[in-house]
């Protein structure tokens, strides 16, 4: 088993959309960034990449690369999911927290969870998203930005099938447990 954590923060500015967990949230400000600045998905991606020892999102999607300007973080998360599949990792669970004084996020969290689970090919029960305020303290409490943190647990395919079943190049042995083969691993 492998554990990873991720953290991201972006400044709130006018004339930008606020997107968290792939959900556009009506608000007077949005997050500033090279991509869509979805701090929640960025923290989740960093946790997943960290657990797999694959670096961070800056390594895979550099903010000085014009190809990622305005990028949809849901598509970037999908790419991270593919990297994990290539390395034969299974996502056991993801737990993430959005830190924002405003806007209130509770009604958007079910869709955020669904988006993350769907793009990664896992069950919604494997994803937890929560939101908290900082009681008016710090940059998030003052409404200057939004932060997110995430942890995840990955398992290696050896935990599900014998090493003798694995292909030599560590690609999936076709156990049927992942989205690639239509499985659900319930």
State the DSSP H helix or E strand holding residue 6, giving kind and residue range, or none if neither: strand 2-13
**What pLDDT score was predicted for residue 63?**
87
pLDDT digits (tens, 9 = 90+) for 17-75: 999 999 999 999 999 999 999 999 999 999 999 999 999 999 999 888 888 888 899 99
For tokens 């319930």, the residue is 186
**What pLDDT score was predicted for residue 186?**
44
- Residue 24 in contact with residue 18, Cβ under 8 Å? yes
**Binding-site residue ranges:** 8-10, 34-35, 42, 56-58, 61-65, 132-135, 139
More confident residue, 67 or 161: 67
pLDDT digits (tens, 9 = 90+) for 111-140: 999 999 999 999 999 999 999 999 988 999
Q: Which domains does the chain have, with CATH numbers?
A: 1-160 (3.30.1330.50)
Please state, in angstroms and rounded to a whole number, the distance separating the CA atoms of residues 76 and 48. Answer: 12
**Binding-site residue ranges for a divalent metal cation:** 8, 10, 42
More confident residue, 5 or 183: 5
Report DSSP letters for 152-170, one per residue.
Answer: EEEEEGGGTS-GGGS-TT-
Residue 81: is its pLDDT beyond 80?
A: yes
Question: What integer is the mean pLDDT of 1-22?
Answer: 96
Report DSSP letters for 31-63, one per residue.
Answer: E-SSS---HHHHHHHHHHHHHTT---HHHHS-T
**What pLDDT score was predicted for residue 178?**
53
Helix 73-86 × helix 109-120 angle, to 10°? 40
Q: What is the percentage of the chain residues whose pLDDT exceeds 90?
A: 74
Report DSSP letters for 121-150, one per residue.
Answer: T--GGGEEEEEE--TT-HHHHTTSEEEEEE
């Amino acid at each position: 088993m492998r554990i990873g954590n991720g953290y991201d923060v972006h400044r709130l500015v006018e004339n930008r959309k606020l997107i968290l967990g792939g959900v556009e949230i009506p608000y007077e400000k949005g997050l500033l960034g090279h991509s869509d600045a979805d701090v929640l998905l960025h923290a989740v991606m960093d946790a997943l990449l960290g657990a797999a020892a694959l670096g961070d999102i800056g390594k895979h999607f550099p903010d000085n690369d014009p190809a990622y300007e305005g990028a949809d973080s849901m598509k970037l998360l999908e790419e991270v999911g593919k990297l994990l599949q290539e390395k034969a990792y299974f996502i056991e669970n993801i737990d993430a927290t959005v830190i924002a004084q405003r806007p209130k996020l509770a009604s958007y969290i079910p869709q955020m969870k669904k988006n993350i689970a769907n793009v990664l090919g896992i069950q919604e029960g494997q994803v937890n998203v929560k939101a908290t305020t900082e009681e008016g303290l710090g940059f998030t409490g003052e409404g200057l930005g939004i932060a997110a943190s995430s942890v995840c647990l990955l398992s290696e395919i050896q935990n599900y099938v014998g090493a003798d079943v694995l292909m030599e190049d560590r690609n999936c042995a076709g156990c049927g447990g992942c989205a690639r083969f239509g499985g659900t691993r319930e």
